Structure 1
Amino acid sequence: MTDLVTARLLLHPMSIDEAEKLVANEPDDSVRWAPEYPTEGDVSAAGRFLRTYGSTGDPSPFGPYQICLRADRRTIGGVDFHGPPDEHGSVTIGYGLVPSARGKGYASEALRALLSFARSQGVASVKGDADHDNTASQHVMTAAGMRPAGEDERVKYFAVTWSP
Protein backbone atom coordinates (compact mmCIF):
# COMPACT_ATOMS: atom_id res chain seq x y z
CA MET A 1 0.00 0.00 0.00
CA THR A 2 1.21 3.50 -0.72
CA ASP A 3 1.48 6.50 1.59
CA LEU A 4 -1.39 8.96 1.88
CA VAL A 5 -0.01 12.42 1.10
CA THR A 6 -1.17 15.79 2.42
CA ALA A 7 0.33 19.26 2.09
CA ARG A 8 2.75 18.71 5.00
CA LEU A 9 2.46 15.05 5.92
CA LEU A 10 2.85 11.48 4.76
CA LEU A 11 0.60 8.88 6.34
CA HIS A 12 2.65 5.73 6.02
CA PRO A 13 0.77 2.41 6.40
CA MET A 14 2.55 0.43 9.09
CA SER A 15 3.95 -2.96 8.12
CA ILE A 16 4.17 -5.95 10.42
CA ASP A 17 7.95 -5.49 10.66
CA GLU A 18 7.55 -1.80 11.54
CA ALA A 19 4.89 -2.63 14.16
CA GLU A 20 7.12 -5.26 15.77
CA LYS A 21 10.04 -2.81 15.92
CA LEU A 22 7.83 -0.08 17.33
CA VAL A 23 6.48 -2.35 20.09
CA ALA A 24 10.06 -3.42 20.89
CA ASN A 25 11.20 0.26 20.77
CA GLU A 26 13.81 -0.61 18.15
CA PRO A 27 13.82 2.06 15.43
CA ASP A 28 14.31 0.88 11.88
CA ASP A 29 17.42 2.37 10.23
CA SER A 30 15.29 3.59 7.31
CA VAL A 31 12.85 5.50 9.55
CA ARG A 32 13.51 8.69 11.52
CA TRP A 33 11.60 8.92 14.78
CA ALA A 34 11.00 12.25 16.49
CA PRO A 35 12.70 12.24 19.92
CA GLU A 36 9.42 11.62 21.81
CA TYR A 37 8.22 8.87 19.45
CA PRO A 38 6.72 6.36 20.00
CA THR A 39 4.12 7.41 22.52
CA GLU A 40 2.09 4.96 24.59
CA GLY A 41 -0.76 5.38 22.08
CA ASP A 42 1.54 4.46 19.16
CA VAL A 43 2.70 1.32 20.94
CA SER A 44 -0.91 0.41 21.77
CA ALA A 45 -2.01 0.86 18.12
CA ALA A 46 0.92 -1.25 16.87
CA GLY A 47 0.09 -3.97 19.40
CA ARG A 48 -3.59 -3.96 18.34
CA PHE A 49 -2.46 -4.25 14.70
CA LEU A 50 -0.21 -7.22 15.51
CA ARG A 51 -2.99 -8.98 17.46
CA THR A 52 -5.49 -8.39 14.64
CA TYR A 53 -3.00 -9.66 12.08
CA GLY A 54 -2.38 -12.78 14.17
CA SER A 55 -6.04 -13.58 14.75
CA THR A 56 -7.90 -12.52 11.60
CA GLY A 57 -5.22 -11.58 9.07
CA ASP A 58 -4.00 -8.35 7.57
CA PRO A 59 -6.60 -5.58 8.13
CA SER A 60 -5.03 -3.35 5.46
CA PRO A 61 -5.93 -0.74 4.47
CA PHE A 62 -7.75 -0.43 7.82
CA GLY A 63 -4.74 -0.53 10.10
CA PRO A 64 -2.32 1.97 11.61
CA TYR A 65 -0.52 4.75 9.75
CA GLN A 66 2.58 6.55 10.97
CA ILE A 67 2.35 10.34 10.63
CA CYS A 68 5.57 11.63 9.05
CA LEU A 69 6.57 15.16 8.15
CA ARG A 70 7.06 15.44 4.38
CA ALA A 71 9.96 17.86 4.85
CA ASP A 72 12.26 15.37 6.58
CA ARG A 73 10.20 12.12 6.89
CA ARG A 74 10.46 12.28 10.70
CA THR A 75 7.71 10.22 12.38
CA ILE A 76 5.75 12.44 14.77
CA GLY A 77 2.76 10.26 15.64
CA GLY A 78 0.12 7.95 14.35
CA VAL A 79 -3.45 7.72 13.14
CA ASP A 80 -5.26 4.43 12.83
CA PHE A 81 -8.39 2.50 12.16
CA HIS A 82 -9.19 0.24 15.10
CA GLY A 83 -10.15 -2.43 12.59
CA PRO A 84 -11.97 -2.98 9.33
CA PRO A 85 -15.53 -1.69 8.80
CA ASP A 86 -18.22 -3.46 10.81
CA GLU A 87 -21.43 -4.91 9.33
CA HIS A 88 -22.83 -1.35 9.06
CA GLY A 89 -19.78 0.00 7.21
CA SER A 90 -18.54 1.88 10.29
CA VAL A 91 -14.97 2.22 11.54
CA THR A 92 -13.46 3.71 14.67
CA ILE A 93 -10.32 5.85 14.54
CA GLY A 94 -7.65 7.06 16.91
CA TYR A 95 -4.70 9.43 16.58
CA GLY A 96 -1.93 11.06 18.51
CA LEU A 97 1.16 13.20 18.12
CA VAL A 98 4.35 13.60 20.10
CA PRO A 99 4.11 16.66 22.39
CA SER A 100 6.49 18.80 20.32
CA ALA A 101 4.29 18.38 17.21
CA ARG A 102 1.02 19.40 18.86
CA GLY A 103 -0.73 22.69 18.21
CA LYS A 104 0.44 22.98 14.59
CA GLY A 105 -2.62 21.51 12.86
CA TYR A 106 -0.92 18.21 12.01
CA ALA A 107 -3.52 16.02 13.76
CA SER A 108 -6.44 17.68 11.92
CA GLU A 109 -4.57 17.43 8.63
CA ALA A 110 -3.84 13.73 9.18
CA LEU A 111 -7.40 12.98 10.30
CA ARG A 112 -8.90 14.78 7.27
CA ALA A 113 -6.74 12.61 5.00
CA LEU A 114 -7.78 9.43 6.83
CA LEU A 115 -11.46 10.39 6.65
CA SER A 116 -11.18 11.10 2.93
CA PHE A 117 -9.44 7.76 2.43
CA ALA A 118 -12.11 5.93 4.46
CA ARG A 119 -14.85 7.47 2.33
CA SER A 120 -13.02 6.47 -0.87
CA GLN A 121 -12.95 2.88 0.44
CA GLY A 122 -16.74 2.80 0.83
CA VAL A 123 -16.85 3.36 4.60
CA ALA A 124 -20.30 4.66 5.66
CA SER A 125 -19.29 6.28 8.95
CA VAL A 126 -16.27 7.01 11.11
CA LYS A 127 -16.42 7.27 14.90
CA GLY A 128 -14.01 8.61 17.49
CA ASP A 129 -14.00 9.79 21.07
CA ALA A 130 -12.09 12.05 23.44
CA ASP A 131 -12.00 12.45 27.20
CA HIS A 132 -14.14 15.32 28.49
CA ASP A 133 -11.07 17.36 29.44
CA ASN A 134 -9.25 16.70 26.15
CA THR A 135 -10.60 19.74 24.33
CA ALA A 136 -7.66 19.71 21.90
CA SER A 137 -8.67 16.27 20.59
CA GLN A 138 -12.30 17.34 20.42
CA HIS A 139 -11.21 20.33 18.34
CA VAL A 140 -9.18 18.05 16.02
CA MET A 141 -12.22 15.90 15.24
CA THR A 142 -14.45 18.93 14.70
CA ALA A 143 -11.84 20.61 12.47
CA ALA A 144 -11.59 17.41 10.41
CA GLY A 145 -15.35 17.35 9.80
CA MET A 146 -16.63 15.07 12.55
CA ARG A 147 -19.55 16.19 14.70
CA PRO A 148 -20.51 15.56 18.34
CA ALA A 149 -22.52 12.34 18.63
CA GLY A 150 -23.14 12.01 22.36
CA GLU A 151 -21.23 11.53 25.57
CA ASP A 152 -21.06 9.43 28.69
CA GLU A 153 -19.45 9.99 32.08
CA ARG A 154 -15.96 9.43 30.61
CA VAL A 155 -15.85 10.64 26.98
CA LYS A 156 -17.46 12.71 24.25
CA TYR A 157 -18.22 10.84 21.03
CA PHE A 158 -17.80 12.21 17.51
CA ALA A 159 -18.83 10.83 14.12
CA VAL A 160 -19.13 11.58 10.45
CA THR A 161 -21.57 9.71 8.19
CA TRP A 162 -21.78 9.76 4.42
CA SER A 163 -24.78 8.98 2.25
CA PRO A 164 -24.36 6.07 -0.17
Structure 2
Amino acid sequence: MTDAKIIETARLRLHPLTVEEARRIVEASPSSGDRWAEGYPADGDARSARGFLDGVAERGDPGAYRPYPIRLLADGTTIGGIGFHGPPDADGVVTVGYGLVPGARGQGYASEALRALIARAREAGATAVRGDADLDNVASHRVMEAAGMAYEGEDEAVRNYRVVLADTP
Protein backbone atom coordinates (compact mmCIF):
# COMPACT_ATOMS: atom_id res chain seq x y z
CA MET A 1 0.00 0.00 0.00
CA THR A 2 1.22 3.47 -0.85
CA ASP A 3 2.08 5.65 2.13
CA ALA A 4 -0.06 8.63 3.04
CA LYS A 5 1.19 11.97 1.81
CA ILE A 6 0.09 15.58 1.73
CA ILE A 7 -2.01 16.43 -1.33
CA GLU A 8 -1.95 20.02 -2.58
CA THR A 9 -4.22 21.70 -5.10
CA ALA A 10 -4.30 25.30 -6.28
CA ARG A 11 -6.06 26.44 -3.08
CA LEU A 12 -6.07 23.50 -0.68
CA ARG A 13 -3.87 21.17 1.32
CA LEU A 14 -5.28 17.75 2.18
CA HIS A 15 -3.25 16.62 5.16
CA PRO A 16 -3.26 12.87 6.05
CA LEU A 17 -5.06 12.55 9.37
CA THR A 18 -2.87 11.31 12.22
CA VAL A 19 -3.98 9.41 15.30
CA GLU A 20 -3.28 12.42 17.52
CA GLU A 21 -5.24 14.77 15.25
CA ALA A 22 -8.11 12.28 15.13
CA ARG A 23 -8.25 12.24 18.93
CA ARG A 24 -8.41 16.05 19.02
CA ILE A 25 -11.23 16.03 16.46
CA VAL A 26 -13.22 13.39 18.36
CA GLU A 27 -12.79 15.40 21.56
CA ALA A 28 -13.39 18.74 19.73
CA SER A 29 -10.26 19.96 21.50
CA PRO A 30 -7.83 21.78 19.20
CA SER A 31 -4.17 22.14 20.08
CA SER A 32 -2.60 25.58 20.09
CA GLY A 33 -1.30 24.93 16.56
CA ASP A 34 -4.67 23.96 15.06
CA ARG A 35 -6.52 26.58 13.01
CA TRP A 36 -10.13 25.45 12.82
CA ALA A 37 -12.76 27.43 10.95
CA GLU A 38 -16.02 28.14 12.76
CA GLY A 39 -18.12 24.97 12.67
CA TYR A 40 -15.17 22.56 12.51
CA PRO A 41 -15.21 19.76 13.45
CA ALA A 42 -18.77 18.92 12.41
CA ASP A 43 -20.48 15.68 13.41
CA GLY A 44 -19.29 14.02 10.19
CA ASP A 45 -15.68 14.97 10.93
CA ALA A 46 -15.94 13.43 14.41
CA ARG A 47 -17.53 10.23 13.00
CA SER A 48 -14.80 9.97 10.37
CA ALA A 49 -12.06 10.50 12.97
CA ARG A 50 -13.63 7.88 15.27
CA GLY A 51 -13.83 5.41 12.35
CA PHE A 52 -10.20 6.12 11.52
CA LEU A 53 -9.13 5.46 15.13
CA ASP A 54 -11.15 2.23 15.22
CA GLY A 55 -9.66 1.11 11.88
CA VAL A 56 -6.10 1.83 13.03
CA ALA A 57 -6.74 -0.21 16.20
CA GLU A 58 -8.16 -3.14 14.19
CA ARG A 59 -6.05 -3.14 11.00
CA GLY A 60 -3.14 -0.76 11.50
CA ASP A 61 -2.29 2.33 9.50
CA PRO A 62 -4.45 2.58 6.35
CA GLY A 63 -1.80 4.29 4.23
CA ALA A 64 -3.40 6.45 1.56
CA TYR A 65 -6.92 5.25 2.38
CA ARG A 66 -7.61 7.55 5.33
CA PRO A 67 -9.36 10.83 6.14
CA TYR A 68 -7.74 14.13 5.17
CA PRO A 69 -8.60 17.43 6.84
CA ILE A 70 -9.13 20.10 4.16
CA ARG A 71 -6.99 23.15 4.86
CA LEU A 72 -6.76 26.42 3.00
CA LEU A 73 -3.34 26.65 1.41
CA ALA A 74 -3.22 30.39 2.07
CA ASP A 75 -3.39 30.26 5.89
CA GLY A 76 -3.74 26.63 7.01
CA THR A 77 -7.30 27.00 8.33
CA THR A 78 -9.14 23.66 8.42
CA ILE A 79 -12.47 24.13 6.61
CA GLY A 80 -13.68 20.53 6.47
CA GLY A 81 -12.67 16.98 5.76
CA ILE A 82 -12.57 14.44 2.97
CA GLY A 83 -11.43 10.87 2.86
CA PHE A 84 -11.94 7.22 2.29
CA HIS A 85 -14.36 5.20 4.39
CA GLY A 86 -11.77 2.43 4.51
CA PRO A 87 -9.46 0.37 2.32
CA PRO A 88 -10.56 -0.82 -1.13
CA ASP A 89 -12.98 -3.74 -1.30
CA ALA A 90 -12.09 -7.03 -3.03
CA ASP A 91 -12.64 -5.36 -6.43
CA GLY A 92 -10.43 -2.38 -5.57
CA VAL A 93 -13.33 0.05 -5.10
CA VAL A 94 -13.13 2.75 -2.41
CA THR A 95 -15.90 4.91 -1.00
CA VAL A 96 -15.40 8.60 -0.25
CA GLY A 97 -17.10 11.15 1.92
CA TYR A 98 -16.56 14.86 2.47
CA GLY A 99 -17.94 17.91 4.19
CA LEU A 100 -17.18 21.60 4.59
CA VAL A 101 -18.05 24.14 7.25
CA PRO A 102 -20.96 26.35 6.14
CA GLY A 103 -18.72 29.39 5.57
CA ALA A 104 -16.60 27.49 3.01
CA ARG A 105 -19.44 26.11 0.90
CA GLY A 106 -20.27 27.29 -2.59
CA GLN A 107 -16.70 28.23 -3.51
CA GLY A 108 -15.66 25.05 -5.35
CA TYR A 109 -13.51 23.72 -2.50
CA ALA A 110 -15.33 20.39 -2.21
CA SER A 111 -15.02 19.61 -5.94
CA GLU A 112 -11.36 20.65 -5.91
CA ALA A 113 -10.66 18.40 -2.92
CA LEU A 114 -12.62 15.49 -4.40
CA ARG A 115 -10.76 15.68 -7.73
CA ALA A 116 -7.48 15.54 -5.80
CA LEU A 117 -8.65 12.60 -3.68
CA ILE A 118 -9.77 10.69 -6.78
CA ALA A 119 -6.31 11.23 -8.28
CA ARG A 120 -4.80 9.94 -5.02
CA ALA A 121 -7.00 6.83 -5.18
CA ARG A 122 -5.82 6.17 -8.75
CA GLU A 123 -2.19 6.63 -7.69
CA ALA A 124 -2.69 4.27 -4.72
CA GLY A 125 -4.11 1.52 -6.96
CA ALA A 126 -7.89 1.74 -6.50
CA THR A 127 -9.98 0.61 -9.47
CA ALA A 128 -12.94 2.91 -8.82
CA VAL A 129 -14.23 5.54 -6.41
CA ARG A 130 -17.84 5.70 -5.32
CA GLY A 131 -19.83 8.12 -3.26
CA ASP A 132 -23.41 8.90 -2.39
CA ALA A 133 -25.50 11.79 -1.13
CA ASP A 134 -28.99 12.19 0.23
CA LEU A 135 -31.57 12.67 -2.53
CA ASP A 136 -32.20 16.29 -1.54
CA ASN A 137 -28.49 17.21 -1.27
CA VAL A 138 -28.24 18.72 -4.75
CA ALA A 139 -25.04 20.59 -3.86
CA SER A 140 -23.27 17.31 -3.10
CA HIS A 141 -24.57 15.77 -6.34
CA ARG A 142 -23.00 18.70 -8.19
CA VAL A 143 -19.72 18.27 -6.31
CA MET A 144 -19.41 14.65 -7.42
CA GLU A 145 -20.40 15.47 -11.00
CA ALA A 146 -17.89 18.35 -11.12
CA ALA A 147 -15.19 15.94 -9.92
CA GLY A 148 -15.92 13.54 -12.81
CA MET A 149 -18.11 11.02 -11.03
CA ALA A 150 -21.06 9.63 -12.98
CA TYR A 151 -24.57 9.12 -11.64
CA GLU A 152 -25.21 5.38 -11.14
CA GLY A 153 -28.71 5.32 -9.73
CA GLU A 154 -30.55 5.89 -6.50
CA ASP A 155 -32.69 4.24 -3.89
CA GLU A 156 -35.26 5.75 -1.55
CA ALA A 157 -32.56 7.62 0.41
CA VAL A 158 -29.45 8.39 -1.67
CA ARG A 159 -28.09 9.04 -5.16
CA ASN A 160 -25.01 6.97 -6.05
CA TYR A 161 -22.02 8.13 -8.08
CA ARG A 162 -18.89 6.37 -9.34
CA VAL A 163 -15.77 7.00 -11.36
CA VAL A 164 -13.86 4.06 -12.80
CA LEU A 165 -10.08 4.39 -12.55
CA ALA A 166 -8.92 1.03 -13.90
CA ASP A 167 -10.28 -2.28 -15.09
CA THR A 168 -11.13 -4.72 -12.31
CA PRO A 169 -8.96 -7.85 -12.25
**Fold conserved between structures, TM > 0.5:** yes
Answer yes or no: is 1:134 the counterpart of 2:115.
Answer: no
Task: Show CA shifts across 1:75-95 (max 9, x none).
Answer: 000001000111100000000
Task: Show CA shifts across 1:100-143 (max 9, x none).
Answer: 00000000000000001101111100010000100000000000
Runs of 4+ in structure 1 off by over 3 angstroms are none
Answer yes or no: is 1:154 the counterpart of 2:167.
Answer: no
TM-score, with normalisation over the residues of structure 1?
Answer: 0.98
* Structure 1 counterpart of 2:43, one-letter code: E
- 1: CA distance between counterparts of 2:84 and 2:165? 17
- 1: CA distance between counterparts of 2:20 and 2:55? 14
Residues 128 and 166, structure 2, Cα contact 8 Å, conserved in 1:
no
Q: SS at 1:33's partner residue? A: coil
- 1: CA distance between counterparts of 2:104 and 2:98? 13
Q: How big is the shift at 1:162? A: 2.1
Q: SS at 2:45's partner residue? A: helix
| Range that drifts further, 62-71 or 21-30 | 21-30
* Structure 2 counterpart of 1:133, one-letter code: D
- 2: CA distance between counterparts of 1:122 and 1:53? 20
2:52 to 49, 52, 57: 49
Residue in structure 2 matched with residue 24 of structure 1 by the alignment: 27
What are the residue-to-residue correspondences of 1:1-164 with 2, within 5 Å? 1-164=4-167
Q: SS at 1:61's partner residue? A: coil
Residues 70 and 113, structure 2, Cα contact 8 Å, conserved in 1:
yes
Q: Which runs of 5+ in 1 are unaligned?
A: none
Q: Which runs of 5+ in 2 are unaligned?
A: none
Task: Show CA shifts across 1:22-77 (max 9, x none).
Answer: 10111022220001110111001001101111111111210100000001000000
TM-score, with normalisation over the residues of structure 2?
Answer: 0.95
Q: How big is the shift at 1:160? A: 0.4
Q: SS at 1:92's partner residue? A: strand
* Structure 2 counterpart of 1:114, one-letter code: L
- 1: CA distance between counterparts of 2:25 and 2:86? 19
Q: What number of residue pairs does the alignment pair up?
A: 164
Q: How big is the shift at 1:163? A: 3.0
